Chains A and B, each alone.
Chain A
Amino acid sequence: MNRIKTRRLTAYEKRNLALRWIIYAFIILLCFVFLTSGSFRKPLILIPVALCISSYAREHNAVITGIICGLLLDIVCNKLFGFNAIILMLMCAGISLLYKYYLTNKFLNFLVLSASGIFIQGILDYFFFYAIWEYSNVSLIYTDHILPCCIYTLISAFAVYPVIHSINRMLRPQIIRTIEEAVISDDDQQA
């Protein structure tokens, strides 16, 4: 199958690309610091951050983002090292593919996917770390801890999306959707 060749990035675009990933790394680090500080209940903000970055990234970048955020989440939540990494990696790869083939970058799409991701992670966490060990009153863990945490995390997604979206608007090479747009863009470049 013949593949459409993508044009090479200009130096300006390359610089923007590097800057974009540096800012992403800084945001991830900031979220990690937030999650480790204080004994109060916190949203697992690394989940929406990873999912949102993946919605703008290619599959392999999304996979790496998912693994890094997942491993950091394993450290802050003291879970089995790699548990959240696998979950987030699969989610991020899935989201990247969904956006590549079927979805457009709209807030509602992100919200629905984030909600699904957050609740799936919550259910898996509850099942593997509490339910299968059959503690007494184990359902309280879900109702009093995991469910509120999922809701907080979902609320945090409202703050995450505008930040990542703005970074992408400023620093990502524009995707040309129509032939007319491509012609205009080509004319601009020639000018």
Chain B
Amino acid sequence: MGDFFRQHRFRILICIIALLVGMMLYSVTQEGKAAPGSSILNTILSPLQGSANNLSEKSESFLSSFTNGSQYQAELEELKKENAQLKNELTDFEETKQQLAELQQFMGIKEENETHTYSEPCTIIGYVANDPFHGFIINKGSDDGISLHDPVITGEGIVGIISTISSNSATVETILSPDLSIGAISANNKNTGIAEGEIALASQYKCRMIYLEKDSDLQKGDLITTSSASGLFPKGYLIGTVESVEIMESGLSKYAVIVPAVDFESMTSVAAIIDYPGKGETHEQD
């Protein structure tokens, strides 16, 4: 084996390692823009990802009808004959229905915020494998006008931001990630804080609002929306509902556990806010 370390092959191996390290460092300096190699691979593989994910969603939906079967046993008995024939059609119909509902909600948001520019609805083509914070990949990228750190929403509320982008796909970092901090304000405009992800809560699809004042009157059920404090998000988009209010470990302030308005498990399409007044600017707390 010692021979190997004296051969040209070993030197080539060292060169390859240096090349890969260089590529990694280059990726770091790109601040979220996909490295050229990654971009090429993404372009080649994204159609494959899309169709594979579509297939996976259909099979999950098909299988879930069996796992929930015990609850609907009586109904299933009646529909047994028709069920096998209609099952495939039903999964297609449900998917289309959900997409329609999402598009209707997007239209509502568009009418409410006329000064904001939205991307076309983006389909989720894949998920970041084993990501504790449930990141996902969408089928639109910089060619569609989306840029890095653009906010991502659904008709229900905010989802996250674009964390990596290539020409025809982008990765979304969700609000469940501790790397993402958003200026947040309660619907009654009395309580301000920062909404961010937390590892223990992320597995339950929840996040938290920190830096609440100790005398804050925030209660269970209160709605939390974005403030324009961070400059990352435009004001007024729903983040979620307060589930509980607790004292921080330091004892100096409170935090609220938030149930996001968006259902991360069932969403199939999202939209990016590609332009809005004050984009990129950091404002004083509203």
Contacts and interface: CB of A to CB of B under 8 A. Distances in A.
Interface in B238-269: 265
A95 B198 CA distance: 38
A94 B223 CA distance: 55
Interface in A39-74: 39-42, 44, 59-60, 63, 67, 71-72, 74
A186 interface: no
B128 A77 contact: yes
A33 B20 contact: no
Contacts of A71: 37-38, 41
Contacts of A123: none
B198 A36 contact: no
A81 interface: yes
A37 B49 contact: yes
Given A37-B53, A97-B1, A42 B16 contact: no
B90 interface: no
B21 interface: yes
Contact of A144 (B21, B45, B203): B203
B23 A82 contact: yes
10 contacts: A37-B53, A37-B55, A39-B265, A40-B60, A41-B130, A42-B129, A44-B129, A77-B130, A89-B17, A101-B1
B24 A136 contact: no
A74 B38 contact: yes
Interface string B43-54: 001001100110
Interface of A: 29, 32-42, 44, 59-60, 63, 67, 71-72, 74-78, 80-83, 85-86, 89-90, 93, 97, 100-102, 135-138, 140-141, 144-145, 149
A138 B24 contact: no
B42 interface: yes
Given A81-B34, A86-B17, A145 B52 contact: no
A149 B55 CA distance: 23
Given A63-B16, A71-B41, A140 B130 contact: no
Nearest to B135: A78
Given A36-B48, A71-B38, A71-B41, 11 more contacts: A37-B55, A38-B56, A38-B60, A42-B130, A44-B129, A82-B20, A82-B27, A85-B20, A86-B24, A136-B178, A149-B130
B127 interface: yes
